[in-house]
Amino acid sequence: MSASSPQPPALQASLRRAGHLGRRHARAAVYWQIGERSTGREFYRDLLRGIASADPAVMGLYEVPDLTGRWEYDRASLAADLQLAAGDPALAQAAAAYLAAAREEFWLEAARLARRHLTPSTEDGDGDGTGPESPGDGEPAPDWRQDISDPGSGLSRLLSERCPTCILRPGDPMHLGPERTAAFIRHALDAGSYVVCHETLTYGDFPSYGPAICRGFFDAYRGRSRDLLILQAGRRLTEVPPPLVARAEELGRNAGTTAATWAFDGSTPEEAYQRVLRGIEEGDPAVLDALEPPAIGPEASYGQDDLARDLGIDPTDRALPRAVSAYTGAFTSAFWQETERTARDHTG
């Protein structure tokens, strides 16, 4: 295949997924190697300068994920995640895409981390290129604070369930390794604090969703964290779904409401609305099964690949099954709520 030849869709999807994995693992690697150090601003200034000048004395201190055994994620792991055979020619291209994405994202994330520690106390800039006026791309510096307060209630946000890639899920879906995971948990407990779900970080995959406490950490350590004990005692917690689940539910509700408007037309007699109301009240399957449309699949003209596209994830993402379940549940609930409301409006 020449460099200019179009790539088959399946290969394109594998390369996109490999790049996504590389970026995700790189961000985790930055946290484990650099982390939220309290060594003062000079450390982060030196780090930012070293990245900007590609200084090997600085950049050589850290390791980028490289698909070797010491990262507990190698080419075989990548092949398994991409559902590729070990000898598939696409694996070499996918590995190259993974490594390129990891290298780029590692240093971008390290620079973001440095700016996050420098921005709050450099409102006027220092003259050393690390001020908040620009993060390097012409945009204003973002707000890096991880405030878990719910803007509506003022309570502290807690995920209602574990996100699909929770660091405390079996199988290590973030590929951090047992030592890094244990160190992360130990750091939070030693500080008497908690873990904020990585999917809800303001510099993560869902920057506008709002930070929330990791459900996996809460379930495992709610009795050992000082801050969580205080929040529980004061009943200061409010549950929110993981961002991907929330987005799938939103899509499902919108689709279910729309589907309900198609169930009747202007010529539907009042007797039909009355039958629907009785069927809903009595749970009559003869009425319910005949009226409820499929939420997802060929008959709905909206499949799992369509949902993955609308969620901005790859169809092979391990989070998709949970998103499908959330979408379907929200679709069904919204369909019957809107159907009942419509029927009542037409029967007085």
Token representation of residue 26: 């790189």
In a domain, 148, yes or no: no
35 and 109 assigned to the same domain: yes
CB-based contact 148:135 (threshold 8 Å): no
In a domain, 146, yes or no: no
The pLDDT value given to residue 265: 67
The last residue of a domain, from among 106, 121, 136: 121
209 and 251 assigned to the same domain: no
226 and 253 assigned to the same domain: no
Q: Which amino acid, residue 288?
A: L
In a domain, 270, yes or no: yes
Burial level of 117, CB count in 10 A (0-12/13-18/19+)? buried
DSSP 4: T
In a domain, 338, yes or no: yes
116 and 13 assigned to the same domain: yes
The pLDDT value given to residue 5: 43
The pLDDT value given to residue 122: 35
In a domain, 144, yes or no: no
Task: List the pLDDT tens digit at each of the 348 positions of the chain.
Answer: 444 444 577 788 888 888 888 888 888 888 778 866 555 678 888 888 888 888 888 888 888 988 887 777 888 889 988 888 888 888 999 999 999 888 888 888 888 888 877 765 433 333 333 333 333 333 333 334 478 999 888 899 999 999 988 888 888 777 777 877 888 788 888 888 888 898 888 767 787 899 999 999 999 999 999 999 999 999 999 999 999 999 999 999 999 999 988 877 666 778 878 888 888 888 878 777 788 899 999 999 999 999 999 998 888 888 899 999 999 999 999 998 998 888 888 776
168 and 229 assigned to the same domain: yes
13 and 75 assigned to the same domain: yes
Q: How many CB atoms lie within 10 A of CB 98?
A: 28
Residue span of the structural domain in which 217 resides: 156-240
In a domain, 314, yes or no: yes
In a domain, 274, yes or no: yes
In a domain, 129, yes or no: no
DSSP 196: B
The pLDDT value given to residue 253: 96
48 and 69 assigned to the same domain: yes
Which residues have a Cβ under 8 Å from the Cβ of 144 and sit 6 or more positions away? Answer: 112, 115, 116, 119, 120, 202, 203
The pLDDT value given to residue 308: 92
Which residue's structure tokens are 């698909």? 67
Dihedrals φ, ψ of 78, to 5°? -65, -45
The pLDDT value given to residue 223: 94
Q: Whole-angstrom Cα distance, residue 158 to residue 242?
A: 9
Which residues have a Cβ under 8 Å from the Cβ of 175 and sit 6 or more positions away? Answer: 25, 28, 71, 72, 73, 77
The pLDDT value given to residue 52: 84
292 and 324 assigned to the same domain: yes
Q: Which amino acid, residue 333?
A: S
309 and 332 assigned to the same domain: yes
The pLDDT value given to residue 108: 87
The last residue of a domain, from among 213, 240, 267: 240
**Residue of 293, 298, 309, 199 lying closest to 246 (CA atoms):** 199
- How many structural domains is the chain composed of? 3
Q: Whole-angstrom Cα distance, residue 52 to residue 49?
A: 5
13 and 117 assigned to the same domain: yes
The pLDDT value given to residue 37: 54
Token representation of residue 103: 């290298």
250 and 235 assigned to the same domain: no
Q: How many CB atoms lie within 10 A of CB 151?
A: 8
Cross-strand bridge partners of residue 330: none
309 and 279 assigned to the same domain: yes
